Structure 1
Amino acid sequence: MESKSSESASEKLSADHFSSFRTAHLELEDGTCYEGRAFGANRSISGEVVFATGMVGYPESLTDPSYRGQLLTLTYPLVGNYGVPARNPADPLNPGFESSHIQAQALVIQNLSRDFSHWNATSSLEDWMIEEKIPGIEGVDVRAVTRRLRESGTIKGRLLVEGSPDRDEIASSPYQDPGNRNVVAEVSCKEPILHRCASDGAPRVILVDCGAKTSIIRSFLDRGADVLQVPWNHDFVAEKGDAVLLSNGPGDPKMALETVENIRRALDGSRPLMGICLGNQLLALAAGFDTYKLDFGHRSQNQPCVEVGTSLCWVTSQNHGYAVDGTSAPDGWEEWFRNANDGSNEGIRHREKPFFSVQFHPEANPGPLDAAGLFDRLLGLVR
């Protein structure tokens, strides 16, 4: 009898829980519509719909500034089962998070786990999203969404939550395209910030913040280097430092032309310079390459990249929707890496000067650490 009573109570709790669900719709610009259940904040939103194929790492992905303005679809079928890690209010570089807030516009998933278990978890994914005012939709066939995006290319869409106060306004407004605005300026720091390591006489890396992940900063601090984090349009050429790192970030690189112009001036010198993700594209534009938008981007933790001229294949973490046209290499420059899946450019370097960049994320978080040695490569040029 006790077992039956317990089962009935569980069934009642489940029934009450499901009855509280709100209907939501993911509408794509091409007219495709997916129905599901809303979770997170009670609001509707519009943006660019993208997909990522990683199995884990949703706190890092959601806080990655590169997802600014995007509705993030996760293809792994169960999300939220290890909750959200604890934050240290005194540490601006909290491990497990790539910025201080969720950057994605919304989250699209198949199944939300409201029960979570992890020794370092302090809240559920849904509670965190409510706190951050981020809406989500579950119960969607994310495989169907992914196939649609692969066939049609990245497409704009909107998440409409029934009963939300802004539902009708969002439904009747034009689809928002983050590629049409300078989202880099939205996620960059507003003034220089100095991060010091524990070593005296440490080399200083100037980090041009175009939406930098905090794990990039931690990667240098862990290697005994100070980091001067400067805004995206800051005149970093005039700053004192031993090396320059052009960070990752969101959107179209051609919207950050002030950064490109500063890089162009830096290329007249010989101070070591490295780019990551968007930084690869910005360096390429400054050098004379062209960039273009990929059909559906690279957003996963297992992108294979072949080092040109070798048989080495690196497994890398990536999150980008634009790429460098490797066929447009100007004098003095060469392709360094290519994607083994689609042949797109994954890195460039100068033949003589200490300038190089990669389209992937050597700091990972989440993802493999095959390329982490690139931070050592940059610091090795100044030590």
Structure 2
Amino acid sequence: MTGKTGNAVTEGALVLADGSVFEGELIGAHVPVSTGEVVFNTVLSGYQEVISDPSYAGQIITFTYPHIGNYGINATDFESVGTFCRGVIVRDLARRHSNFRAQSDLGSMLFQQGVPGIAGIDTRRLTRLIRDHGAVPGAFGSASESELLAAAQAEPGTDGVDLVKTVTTPVGYTVQATDPASRRTIVAIDFGMKRNIANNLARFGRVEVVPATTSAGDILAMDPSGVFLSNGPGDPAMSPYAVDTIQGLLGELPIFGICLGHQLLSRAIGADTVKLPFGHHGGNHPVKNLLDQRIEITSQNHNFAVDASTLPSNAEMTHINLNDDVCEGIRVESERAFSVQHHPEANPGPHDANYLFDQFADLMDASASTGKAGA
């Protein structure tokens, strides 16, 4: 195991707020203390995409798969302009990487991105603890165990914190349509949007990405064919400005939301959101499409969820998680709006739900044909 200075090993520890201690070796950017809400992710590959997903702001990612970093990293697979997670926990960081696409190794990427990490951790024990007791604040680094415990207990976690404003784009930008002949314009509200979502939307038109605080009036002035509500981190109750915007857009044009966008759309129609014990983080969650009874394996990353019992009468639940019956999708036909909790763009993960982007395109076309939205 190598530390930031080459072959030197720097010992460290992970301490949770409940006092649990895990010994390991520091990797990535070395700092005395790193704190965050500790969660686990079950993907077998795609560690670069996970680490660069803005939805992990405020969190320390534990990879349950024991061997991480074996195929290296490359410039193409980043899902954002940088990294927003608080740290990375692995059982075994690969000493050598091998892949024709690799440009560097994971340890170097963590160091260059300023992301601290710790390896050699008993991730099975840690995952069981989180599964049994819920996501928990933690701290790791080279500081003493007493200092790490104090830092972990002082960490607020993601409840009651607006993390969206820490990850949204500061200024709008354009992603050109894959087909130059496309006449559609899609406004994507960036609550922490992954790059591959924009790439999927670009298959159907020009994508205008706007900051999370953009008003409904400013969006409608762009005369879009539809509006996309992106994924993002944290507690949806802490982004009331986003809910106000969505309420101003409902009924005006087609709306499609993913992950945090799904939660914000639900809050905009009057439903409540709740925090799950340890969230859904991984690429293997079974979801049932209640409209056609198909089972889809999905990619997921969220700690909060929609309380299905609070959905208004004009909203219909369309998808359900087969592991714990969590609401995975809704639609409000009267408002031409729908959303899902999982990630149909994957990266990483299966592509079973990618058809949802096509459904959004069909909804935009249907609205255009009736003169209810831009063409």
Structure 1-normalised TM-score?
0.89
Identity percentage over the alignment?
Answer: 37
SS of match in other structure, 1:382:
helix
SS of match in other structure, 1:123:
coil
- The question of whether the paired residues in 2 share the 8 Å contact of 1:275 and 1:357 is answered with yes
SS of match in other structure, 1:284:
helix
1:25 aligned onto 2:10: no
Who is 2:249 aligned against? 266
Who is 2:26 aligned against? 38
Who is 2:42 aligned against? 53
Q: Deviations over 1:69-109 (max 9, x none)?
A: 11100000000111111x2xxxxxxx411101122111100
2:276 partner letter: L
Who is 1:151 aligned against? 132
1:180 aligned onto 2:169: no
- The question of whether the paired residues in 1 share the 8 Å contact of 2:16 and 2:149 is answered with no
| Distance across 2 between alignment mates of 1:206 and 1:132 | 29
Who is 1:301 aligned against? 283
1:331 aligned onto 2:313: yes
Alignment of 1:303-318 (within 5 A): 303-308=285-290, 310-318=292-300
Unaligned runs of 5+ in 2: 366-375
Who is 1:372 aligned against? 354
| Distance across 2 between alignment mates of 1:382 and 1:72 | 37
- The question of whether the paired residues in 2 share the 8 Å contact of 1:23 and 1:162 is answered with no
1:99 partner letter: S
- The question of whether the paired residues in 1 share the 8 Å contact of 2:299 and 2:349 is answered with yes
SS of match in other structure, 1:178:
coil
Q: Deviations over 1:126-154 (max 9, x none)?
A: 11111111111111110100000011111
Q: Deviations over 1:217-276 (max 9, x none)?
A: 01122x241100001110134432100000000000011110001101111x24110000
1:33 partner letter: V
Q: Which contiguous aligned blocks of 4+ residues in structure 1 show a shift greater than 3 angstroms?
A: 167-173
**Offset at 1:195?**
1.4
Who is 2:369 aligned against? none
In the comparison of the two structures, how many residue pairs are matched? 356
Who is 2:258 aligned against? 276
1:140 aligned onto 2:121: yes
| Distance across 1 between alignment mates of 2:220 and 2:326 | 30
Comparing 234-243 with 326-335, which one deviates more in the overlay? 234-243
Q: Deviations over 1:176-215 (max 9, x none)?
A: 4233321100100111111112413430111000000000
1:319 partner letter: N
| Distance across 1 between alignment mates of 2:350 and 2:150 | 42
**Offset at 1:56?**
0.2
Alignment of 1:74-153 (within 5 A): 74-85=63-74, 87=75, 95-153=76-134
| Distance across 2 between alignment mates of 1:258 and 1:338 | 28
- The question of whether the paired residues in 2 share the 8 Å contact of 1:53 and 1:74 is answered with yes
SS of match in other structure, 1:102:
coil
**Structure with the greater alpha carbon radius of gyration:** 1
The alignment's C-alpha RMSD in Å is 2.0
Inter-CA distance 18–244: structure 2 relative to 1 (3 Å threshold): closer
| Distance across 1 between alignment mates of 2:133 and 2:338 | 33
**Offset at 1:351?**
3.4
| Distance across 2 between alignment mates of 1:158 and 1:346 | 31
1:350 partner letter: V
1:292 aligned onto 2:280: no
Among 184, 191, 200, the residue aligned to 1:203: 184
SS of match in other structure, 2:334:
coil
Inter-CA distance 18–201: structure 2 relative to 1 (3 Å threshold): closer
- The question of whether the paired residues in 2 share the 8 Å contact of 1:337 and 1:346 is answered with yes
Who is 1:10 aligned against? none
- The question of whether the paired residues in 2 share the 8 Å contact of 1:332 and 1:350 is answered with yes
Q: Deviations over 1:144-180 (max 9, x none)?
A: 00000011111111112259xxx99766442242333
| Distance across 2 between alignment mates of 1:363 and 1:294 | 23
Who is 2:212 aligned against? 232
Comparing 300-309 with 124-133, which one deviates more in the overlay? 300-309
SS of match in other structure, 2:39:
strand
1:42 partner letter: H
**Offset at 1:21?**
1.1
2:185 partner letter: R
| Distance across 1 between alignment mates of 2:81 and 2:214 | 21
| Distance across 2 between alignment mates of 1:81 and 1:66 | 24
Among 47, 50, 62, the residue aligned to 1:73: 62
**Offset at 1:374?**
0.7
| Distance across 1 between alignment mates of 2:235 and 2:156 | 14
| Distance across 2 between alignment mates of 1:245 and 1:184 | 16
| Distance across 1 between alignment mates of 2:157 and 2:208 | 32
SS of match in other structure, 1:283:
helix
